[in-house]
Amino acid sequence: MPGIVLIGAQWGDEGKGKATDLIGTKVDYVARFNGGNNAGHSVVVGDESYALHLLPSGIINPHLTPVIGNGVVVDPEVLFQEIDGLEARGIDCSHLLVSEAAHIIAPYHRTLDKVTERFLGKHKIGTTGRGIGPAYADKINRVGIRVHDLFNEQHLHDKVEASLHQKNQMLVKLYNRRPIDVDQTTEELLKLGERLKPYVANTGLILNKALDEGKTVLFEGAQATMLDVDHGTYPFVTSSNPTAGGACTGTGVGPTKITRVIGVSKAYVTRVGEGPFPTELFDESGEWLRTQGHEFGVTTGRPRRCGWFDAVVNRYASQVNGLTDIVLTKLDVLTGLEEIPICVAYDVDGERYDDMPTDQAAFAAAKPIYETMPGWSEDISNCHSFDELPATCQAYVKRLEELSNCRISAIGTGPQRDHIISVHSLID
């Protein structure tokens, strides 16, 4: 019963889509367990490039069953757009399963996301504006709409009414906006429910049965460890648990069924949105990384903030997620640098921190302590084994491994499926 969890070890966009696609060729199910269409996961197959937002990246592999688990927040309009877009390109989505317990992102969640950000002003989070935070807030406040609510008109009307009661007061009195109509919203959601119905299933039961039968399930995380609402750089986080534990709560599969936890890390670091980022580069090196690495968001198109590899973050990710393996991506991007700094610890007001400070103010004040490794100039995109990498490149990877407290089992050398060096198998 291999249950493999794959998560982002940094601040997102590490290449989870590519890693999922890679492992996806050998698994039976790929299940998303957190987040929603704030995610943007790229998969490149030959000349075709796919940007997945809500659908599991595994959907590109026709033999497996893609699942949207109960921990995901589903915007049905976005889901249908994504399905239509993929089907027009010849990708069959008819076997998709959506949890009946997943929460819905309604149009009012998107409105509230944008209005709240505007009101926060200089305290804003820099969200993707997709309604993620407000939908999870409703879930926790127990006024959320779940997928199965879409199939009972009276029940749905009552739920929408309960949910909008307080929001309309806020919209009108605080934000000076028009109230949202309960009847119209109910009608819109009912229509979306009709189209959603064929995909809806008891996904927790299906995944547990599959694991009991010896099938392999890959749990595809969205966002990342440092964006986790409990373990990340709060309040500059997303509103779900992208860490490994979220795979269990977000699908209804128990922790005893998880056999492997894979963390995906870039060979450097990027971040989108607001919040502290100790190794961020504001000089030409940052611009160089952004250009070389094509660091622009898949979901919002925003330029990503770039910085050197942060080993404190990776050690923390190993600890929080119980990582068994790391997939190190975008090593090719560093080709051409004479020297590569690695952040090994932080200096906070003269005190050395080898581990992540738990105090938000300390993390915001953290200054990176760097050690520097020699770079390489050879093109590595055609290397297919670790031994083929230039010696200085091997030494860089080995040092990252040592500092991360976890073995590096695969190395990305380019965006394509076959741009990968396998060091240890990720599947058995």
How many angstroms separate the Cα of 396 from the Cα of each of 14, 74, 278, 291? 18, 40, 20, 21
Please tell me the distance from the alpha carbon of residue 252 to that of residue 259, in angstroms, as a whole number: 16
User: Is the Cβ of residue 273 or residue 368 nearer to ligand IMO in the bound state?
Assistant: 273
Q: Smallest distance from the beta carbon of 373 to Mg ion, in angstroms?
A: 27
By the rule CB under 6 A, 138 interacts with ligand IMO: no
Contact with ligand IMO (CB under 6 A): which of 130, 139, 305, 315?
Answer: 130
Residue of 8, 24, 36, 40 that binds Mg ion (CB under 5 A)? 40
What distance in Å separates the CA atoms of residue 147 and residue 133, rounded to the nearest whole number?
18
Closest alpha carbon to 2 in 253, 218, 249: 218
- Print the binding letters for residues 249-288 with ligand IMO: x by CB under 6 A, - otherwise: -----------------------xx---------------
CA pair distance 292, 290, nearest whole angstrom: 6
Q: Convert residues 309-338 into a mask of x (bound to Mg ion by CB under 5 A) and - (unbound).
A: ------------------------------
How many of the other CB atoms lie within 10 Å of CB of 128? 23
Amino acid in the structure at residue 120: L
Could you give the CA distance from residue 205 to residue 148 in angstroms, rounded to a whole number? 16
- Pick the binder of ligand IMO from 40, 250, 252, 368 (CB under 6 A): 40
Structural tokens at position 12: 């997102």
Note if the bond before 368 is cis, omega within 30 degrees: no
The smaller minimum CB distance to ligand IMO, of residues 202 and 249, is found at 249
Residue 130's binding partner out of Mg ion, ligand IMO, ligand GDP, none, with CB under 5 to 8 Å set by partner kind: ligand IMO
**CB of 399 vs ligand IMO, minimal distance in Å:** 25
Q: Is 39 in the site for ligand IMO (CB under 6 A)?
A: yes
Structure tokens at 231: 């373990």
Catalytic residues: 13, 41
Cβ proximity to ligand IMO: between 69 and 193 the closer is: 69
Q: Which of 13, 100, 138, 325 binds Mg ion (CB under 5 A)?
A: 13
Binding residue (CB under 6 A) for ligand IMO from 72, 102, 105, 132: 132
Kindly tell me which of 37 and 185 has the beta carbon lying closer to ligand IMO. Answer: 37
Q: Is 23 in the site for ligand IMO (CB under 6 A)?
A: no
CA distances from 226 to 108, 161, 396 (A): 28, 35, 23
Residue 256, φ and ψ in degrees, nearest 5? -70, -15
DSSP-derived 3-state class of residue 327: strand
**Backbone φ and ψ of 219, nearest 5°:** -100, 110
- List the single partner that 131 binds among ligand GDP, Mg ion, ligand IMO, none, CB under 5 to 8 Å by kind: none
3 state SS for 102-149: CEECCHHHHHHHHHHHHHHHHHCCCCCCCCHHHHHHHHHHCCCCEHHH
Q: How far is the CB of 177 from Mg ion (least distance, A)?
A: 31
216-255 footprint of ligand IMO as x/- string (CB under 6 A): ------xxx--x----------xx----------------
* Residues found near ligand IMO in the complex (CB under 6 A): 8, 12-13, 38-41, 125-128, 130, 132-133, 222-224, 227, 238-239, 272-273
* Residues found near Mg ion in the complex (CB under 5 A): 13, 40, 298
